Amino acid sequence: MEFLVKSYVCPKRRPMNKPQYYADYLELDKILDAQHPVSFNEPYEPAHDEMLFIIIHQAYELWFKQIAHEAESVIAIMQQDAMNDNSPQMQTVVHRMNRINTIMKVLVNQMDIMETMTSMDFLDFRDLLRPASGFQSWQFKVLEARLGLQYSQRHGQEYYTSILRPQYVEMVKKAEQEPSLLQLMNKWLERMPFFSNDALWKNFELSNPEQNELHSFWIEYRYRLQQSLSEAEAHTLPAFDKIFSSDDETRMLSSAACRSALFIMLYRGYPILQQPFQLINAVLELDEQLSTWRYRHMNMVHRMIGQRIGTGGSSGKDYLKGAADKHYIFKEFAQLTSFLIERRKLPKLSVEMERKLGFVI
């Protein structure tokens, strides 16, 4: 995490006994003197909305910094070799992921302010921005990598670091080499002991006599899933077998992690599974919020400049649409919902397993 520590930790230390004043504590002299519209300089005619444009993007970068601050703390906790899923640490992870999602909602709604600027207002200063572009936000690229977006999954690979300064390219590349939140969640789910202790399943009842290499629970669950599928959903069963029975190098979640995640989704009403389910739900919401933000951005750009290229040289709206369609970081969790069945059809757990999950004393 060294690359982020250097970026986010302020080296300036205030004396502990020094009185704090609002403007000094927030360093407002620096913040409020950080808006310098290019069009306000000669020989240009001042473009009123350039101030709004600058402040909105500065606000985005500040929120990106806060999201990265929260994400790094979550990653640090998830990097532990073992973690009690009912511990204060897990509650902290869920709380901070929920905070990230709340911030993302602010970022989405901030588009409403941007859209008070019309296309003609933007054209008053747009050409003065070249080649500056939001695509040069190294903070957002680092954040995507730390969450789990791999280079192989990126849209426009040849372009995404080409207009960054060398030091920022290095930071993005280093972020891609660090364990991401998605990778750590995979390891966390693989450690779940749901199916490694045969004693927890000795009284589990099978209604389906078929036997195969699967754990008895998954033999029963697969049978019940098959019974719940319509003819149009026949493809679901082969997909189930592929995801839950064998590992695929193209997937970020292993089959063991997928089994644990689906089990958590199915039986989230049990006390010990509450926090794990909240974490899975939080990353699903994060993907949704990121997608919503990308699509709002794409539609705003389409409204502002139509089919023109971006100031940084990208294809504008078309590039943003490609990224929005492709950059789902936690999509493999979302895919697991294809294999859910109704609560009333769920296999009844053994008494031993219910006791382990916290309902039976």
Reported pTM? 0.89
Return left, alpha or beta for 114; rule: phi > 0 is left, psi -120 to 50 is alpha, else beta: alpha
Cβ contact 114:39 at 8 Å: no
Q: Are 241 and 358 in contact (CB under 8 A)?
A: no
**Residue corresponding to tokens 């693989």:** 190
Q: Dmax over Cα atoms in the chain, in whole Å?
A: 84
pLDDT tens-place string over residues 292-325: 999 998 888 888 877 666 555 555 677 778 877 8
Burial of residue 134, with CB atoms counted within 10 A of its CB: 0-12 exposed, 13-18 middle, 19 or more buried? middle
The neighbour count for residue 28, using CB atoms within 10 Å, is 12
CA distance to 180, 200, 225, 263, 270, per residue, from 349 (Å): 34, 9, 16, 11, 11
With tokens 């757990």, the residue in question is 349
Check if CATH label 3.40.50.300 holds for domain 2-357.
Answer: no
**Encoding tokens for residue 300?**
């705003």
Give the model confidence (pLDDT) of 159-168 as tens digits.
Answer: 777 788 899 9
Are 135 and 314 in contact by the 8 Å Cβ rule? The answer is yes
Q: What is the pLDDT of residues 245-284, one digit of tens each?
A: 888 888 999 999 999 999 999 999 999 999 999 999 999 9
| Residue percentage of the chain with pLDDT more than 90 | 66
Q: Is-contact 94 77, C-beta < 8 A?
A: no
Name the residue ranges covered by the structural domains of the chain: 2-357
Query: What number is the average pLDDT over the span 216-223?
Result: 94
Question: Residue range 94-109: average pLDDT?
Answer: 97
Torsion 106-112-113-115 (CA) sign: positive
